[in-house]
Homo-oligomer: A and B are copies of this chain.
Amino acid sequence: MLNSSEKVNLSHIVSDRIKEYILEKDMREGDKLPSEKQLIDALGVSRTVVREALKSMEMLGIVKIKTGDGIYVGGPSLKPILEQVSFRWQQDERKMTELVKTRRILELGAVEMAIEHYDVACLDQMDEWNRRMAEKVDRGLPPIEEDLAFHETLFRATGNETYLELSGLISDFFLKIRTQHFDSVESSRKSVDEHQNVTDAIRAKDVARAKREMEIHLAPLQKFI
């Protein structure tokens, strides 16, 4: 029945068995799985097979392997998948337009969700990053890391881990553009002010205004390409 048609690797079978095990035991992130040795004995296969299955699951983020310690259940994460998506984006300048538009949607969505979730700590941190950004601008330096951190914190302010992962991936691609964007002190100062406007609007829980401010902030990026 099951064993007749599908020609499957033992690794796949073992991988499925381990996944079933996680579900059956209702294990959560950080819970410890049986050791390699125990899995070998329990499943009756060679170490090779067990290891290949575990390595695969590790790449997918399903489990986390700690040398000399053991095997633990991983958290629910989009990261492994997203890494595969971006795997083919390498140095593809043509995709920039698409990425800019995608980022716009995500940033505007983040503003909306941030107001809904309203995490004061994150908002304070956004202010902090913006303060450091202004500081760096005053010293005539390009505030790349601070700008990145500001936006990442905004995504974190949504309280949505999945959204954070998704958006973070897109944002990272704009590192190169940022370098050129912050070439002049004026545009850098403008960015700082725009950030302030966005956070103010979020604090006021004014969705429409916050989105408008974010649109203004992102407008130069649209033209850039």
Interface residues of A (CB under 8 A from B): 7, 9, 11-12, 15, 19, 22-23, 26, 48, 51-53, 55-62, 67, 76-78, 80-82, 84-85, 87-92, 94-95, 98-99, 101-102, 105-106, 108-109, 112-113, 160-163, 165-166, 169-170
- Determine the distance from Cα of A85 to Cα of B15 in the docked complex, in whole angstroms: 12
Q: How far is the CB of A206 from chain B (nearest CB, A)?
A: 18
Q: How far is the CB of A225 from chain B (nearest CB, A)?
A: 13
Task: Name 9 extra pairs, CB < 8 A, besides A11-B55, A23-B87, A52-B52.
Answer: A57-B59, A60-B84, A60-B85, A78-B85, A80-B85, A95-B162, A101-B160, A105-B112, A108-B109
Contact A95 B80 (CB under 8 A): no
A-B contact pairs, 24 of them (CB 8 A): A23-B88, A23-B91, A26-B91, A48-B51, A53-B55, A56-B59, A60-B81, A61-B85, A62-B88, A76-B89, A77-B85, A78-B81, A78-B84, A80-B85, A81-B84, A85-B165, A94-B161, A98-B162, A101-B160, A102-B162, A102-B163, A105-B113, A109-B109, A166-B170
Contact among B48, B55, B67, B161 for A95, CB-based, below 8 A: B161
Contact among B22, B88, B90, B161 for A98, CB-based, below 8 A: B161
Contact A166 B166 (CB under 8 A): yes
- Determine the distance from Cα of A55 to Cα of B54 in the docked complex, in whole angstroms: 10
- Looking at A60, A78, A90, A112, the one whose CB has the most chain B CB atoms below 10 A away is A78
Chain B residues with CB under 8 A of A161: 94-95, 98
Chain B residues with CB under 8 A of A23: 87-88, 90-91
